[in-house]
Each structure stands twice: as structure tokens, then as C-alpha cells.
Chain A
């Protein structure tokens, strides 16, 4: 089977996301066809989408300017899967609490940016995630947290009581960066129903 995966590529850790979805797809016997999305017209061809980490202001503005934003909304409304990490989570949310971010509003959460502080407060730690048997190596980089969730949002993981991984329908959002580790289990949760038992 072939899986067309679109990585939103206007800014951020795009190549890491591309490598991570290729790895995850192959592990599930799917032949990945990874597209980098910088212009309108590519999203409709994609089975799944990935929204990278980066700077949420720059990403949201470029999505808007290039006409990609409405295509992403349509992708999610059609029930197709999407994984959004860090800045991606901020842009995907319904409330980024920042006027400079043009949110997509596909994930019914309120997000608090830079919730842990500056880069010197960034960290990695093992994180318990619902549906995973072993903790996930979570990397938080100037990370946001979810401060409020809508009624249809399932919280998959928390850090110091704040949700840091959430799911609503076809969308999974994380405060941390699963694409920076070699561990594909968050991608499995987001895109493939059968979750492997180990990393």
C-alpha cells in the first residue's frame, strides 16, 4: 500500500517530520510518498498531514498567505488524520492566546505558549502516554501546554497536570517533539491503529 503523507514545510523541523513518517509507514508495511507542502494544491492529495514544530507566528502567517490553511481545515473535516507537534499544536488549536497567530481551529484546545519558560528550561523526560505500555521519550523545546480542553478532546498525556498530548477525532497534538527521537509510537497512535508493544 502507498501512503501519501504531507509535511507542512513553510518553516520548522520539516526534514525530521519527513524522516519520522517514512520510518513509521515502512514499519507498517506502507510505502510512504512524502510531499513537502509550501503551496496550495498539495494537501488535497494527501492521506495524512504533519504539522512541524517551529515558530507558530511565522508558520500560521505563511499558511494563511499561501492559501494552505483552508485546505488543512478541509483535510481534518474530511476525517483524515493529522499530527501536530509544538508550534503545530499551537497553530491547529482553537485558542492560541496570541493575536499574531492565525489559528486553524481544528483542535478544540486553549494553548499556553512557552509554558515552561525559555530554552534553558527546555527538557527531555520519559512520559506516560495513554495507549503506550512504556514511557515515551518526550523532548520539550520552549514547549506550549494545553490549558483548557473542549468536550470532545481526549487527553493522552499530562505533565505536571497540564495536558501535553491530546486527540480529537483525526487530529493528535503534542507539546513535545516525537519526530526528534527514533521512536514512532506517537505516529502509530496518530496514523496506524495497531500500536506496536515496544519502541
Chain B
């Protein structure tokens, strides 16, 4: 039998560990929640993780003003209430909000355009963190810049809080069609594409060779119904973020979980997304 493994060889926060966490969410739905009660309901109905927020995007839009990270005490309360992973949103470029979320123990930080950007020029240097990050993107160049900064998951930006899936579809189609074009390009054409699109060349080559993003690719922003979720999976997304697009109060959603979902399970390559409705 094995001797004691050397604990000094243990490494946390590596690219493998961070991207690996994101891979475990695949085929699942991640739900916005604002309190422990909602978090528990999300867990009960089959969400693979929750996004702990102060307010859902629809309310943030209505309220106007500056949208910041949620109160750390509220996020901590949500963390204590469920056993599934809990994610939290920081403002774009707000390294300190992200560090606070990491210190509280969130499992993934969303550097999110739904909040008011703190830095109009730079994103957070995500490689410095042990916690993995998810970032939004509207096209492949943007996705690869975020991955270069250390993002372990990419999601479409979509149009959060509207219940309109159109922009999410648009962003996902942008990413997929750019990858298909890259696959057909020669080495120098890919180098040129990288320059034109402000994307790191090594990631452009990596993506072209894989025929997909090197990290998990979720859908977010305006996904309102199980059919919308199925549509995003049809467009090649690995999983779904659901926020205020998912209408009504959580208990009502729970009641509607059965009927619409059964038919969709057959067509969507994710059934857990459907469970959560």
C-alpha cells in the first residue's frame, strides 16, 4: 500500500483546478438568488450552483444608480445555507471586491457587466486569484482576452434582466462562427486574425485546434424559459445562467417545473437545466 504522499506537492488555484471547477458545472443551470431561502429552493430544484446577489438584474436596471458587489454578510449567509457552489459578482476591474468575495469563500467570482464598472480600461488580473472567475463576452476576441487574464469560464453577455434571449443568441453565434472560421485558416491567417481582433495569438491557435473555447462556455443574459435554455444549448453552450428572466417567485417556478420541461428534455442536451425550472 502507498506511503504518505508529500503534502508539499499540493497546489491550489492552478489553471487545471480552476478550469476543472467550471467543467463540473456543465449541463447545469446556475440561478440568481438574493437570500438563503431562494438559495435553498434553487438547490432543491436541481440548480448546480447559485449566484448570490443583492438584487436580480431586472431590479438593478429599474433602480438605476451605482450597482456594487452584494453585502459580504449577505453573501456569507447564502454560502452557509447550501451545499452547492455559491458564486458572487464583482464590478469589472474591482480587484478588491473580488478579493473580498474570495475571502468570504465564494466558489467562483463573476466579473460582471451587470454591475457598474469600476475601471473603464482594465479588467481584474484574474491569474492572481485562487478562486476561478467567469466573465461575459460578446465575441471571440473579447472571450479570449478574458481567458488571457485568467477567466476559467466564459458566458455570453446577453441582455440581463430583459427576458429577451436575442442578444445571448447573437453573442453565442458570434463566438461559434468565429471559431469555425479560425478552424479553416492557415497559421499566418490566424496570426493576422489575432492582431485584428486584439486577441492573444497563442489562445487563437489553441481555440482553432480545439474547435471550441479552451474553457467552459455558458449562456447568460435574458434567458427566460426552459425553451430559451434549450435554444442556447442547441447553439453549443455548455450550461445556463438564469436570473430575473426566469419570471415569478421561486415557489411558482417550482410548480411549473413538470410539464413544459418533459418535452424539452428530449431535445435539449441538458436536462438539469430543465429540472431547475
A interface residues (Cβ-Cβ under 8 A, vs B): 9-16, 38-39, 53-55, 57-59, 61-62, 65-66, 86-87, 98, 100, 113-114, 118-130, 135, 139, 141-142, 155, 157-160, 177, 180-181
Tell whether, in the assembled complex, residue B17 and residue A58 are in contact, meaning their CB atoms are under 8 Å apart. no
Say yes or no: A13-B23 contact (C-beta < 8 A), given A57-B46, A119-B107.
Answer: yes
Contact of B46 among A58, A122, A181 (CB under 8 A): A58
Stretch at the interface among B61-69, B142-150, B269-277: B269-277
Within 8 Å CB of A62, what residues of B?
46, 271-272, 275
Q: How far is the CB of B105 from chain A (nearest CB, A)?
A: 5
Name the one of B1, B11, B130, B272 contacting A58, with C-beta atoms under 8 angstroms: B272
Q: Would you give the shortest CB distance from A125 to chain B, in whole angstroms?
A: 4
Q: Are B105 and A118 in contact (CB under 8 A)?
A: yes
Please tell me if the beta carbons of A12 and B24 are within 8 angstroms of each other in the complex: yes
Measured in the bound complex, the distance between the Cα atoms of B17 and A180 in whole Å is 9
Q: Determine which of A58, A65, A98, A159 lies in contact with B28 in the assembled complex, contact meaning CB atoms within 8 Å.
A: A58
A101 to chain B, nearest CB (A): 10
Interface string of B119-148 (1 = CB under 8 A from A): 000000000001110000000000000000
- Output the least CB separation between B243 and chain A (Å): 19
Contact, CB under 8 Å: B28 / A119: no
Q: Tell me the smallest distance from the CB of B136 to a CB of chain A, in Å.
A: 20
Q: Which of B1-22 contact A (CB under 8 A)?
A: 1-3, 5-7, 9-14, 16-17, 20-21
**Residue from the list B44, B102, B270 in contact with A11, Cβ < 8 A:** B270
Determine the chain A residues whose CB is within 8 A of the CB of B25 once the complex forms.
54-55
3 closest Cβ pairs, A-B complex: A128-B2, A119-B107, A11-B27
B201 interface residue, CB < 8 Å from A?
no
> B44 to chain A: closest CB distance in Å?
7
B interface size (C-beta, 8 A): 47
With A and B bound together, what is the CA distance between A59 and B275 in angstroms?
Answer: 10
A130 to B1, CA, bound (A): 6
Task: List, in ascending order, chain A residues with CB within 8 A of B275's CB.
Answer: 58, 61-62, 65
Asked if A13 contacts B12 (CB within 8 A), the reply is no
Is B37 interfacial (CB-CB < 8 Å)? no
**Chain B minimum-CB-distance residue to A164:** B5
The answer to whether A54 and B131 touch (CB under 8 A), given A120-B13, A126-B5, A128-B3, is no
> B20's contact among A11, A58, A141, A157, by CB below 8 Å, is which?
A141
Residues on A with beta carbons closer than 8 Å to the beta carbon of B3? 128
**A125 near B43 (CB under 8 angstroms)?**
no
CB distance from A72 to the nearest CB of B (A): 16
Interface flag for B118 (CB, 8 Å): no
Residues B83 and A12 in contact, CB atoms below 8 Å apart: no
B window 57-98: CB within 8 A of A: 79, 83-85
Tell me the bound Cα distance from A113 to B84 in angstroms: 10
**Contact check: which of B1, B21, B27, B272 meets A119 at CB < 8 Å?**
B21
Whether the pair B23, A119 counts as a contact (CB closer than 8 A) is no
Binding site for A on B (CB under 8 A): 1-3, 5-7, 9-14, 16-17, 20-21, 23-28, 43-44, 46-49, 79, 83-85, 102, 105-108, 130-132, 265-266, 269-272, 275
- Contact among A15, A120, A124, A155 with B130 in the assembled complex (CB-CB below 8 Å): A120
Residues of B within 8 A of A11 (CB): 26-28, 48, 270-272
Evaluate contact between B16 and A180: CB separation under 8 angstroms.
yes
**Within 8 Å CB of A54, what residues of B?**
24-28, 48
In the complex, what residue of chain A is closest to B6 when comparing beta carbons?
Answer: A126
**Distance, CA A38 to CA B266, complexed state (A):** 9
- Cβ–Cβ < 8 Å partners of A158 in chain B: 2
Contact check, A57 vs B5: say whether CB atoms are below 8 A apart.
no
- In the bound assembly, the distance between CA atoms of A6 and B239 in angstroms comes to 21
Smallest CB gap from A13: residue in B: B23
Contact A139–B48 (Cβ < 8 Å): no
CB-CB < 8 A to B266: which residues of A?
Answer: 39
Known pairs A55-B84, A118-B106; list 7 more (Cβ under 8 Å): A11-B272, A13-B20, A58-B46, A120-B105, A120-B131, A139-B20, A160-B7
Q: How distant is the Cα of A123 from the Cα of B27 in the complex, in angstroms?
A: 23
Bound-state Cα–Cα, A15 to B269, Å: 12
Q: Which residue of B lies closest to A10 (CB)?
A: B271
15 contacts between A and B (CB under 8 A): A10-B271, A12-B26, A13-B24, A14-B26, A55-B49, A58-B48, A61-B275, A87-B24, A100-B43, A119-B21, A119-B108, A127-B2, A157-B2, A158-B2, A180-B23
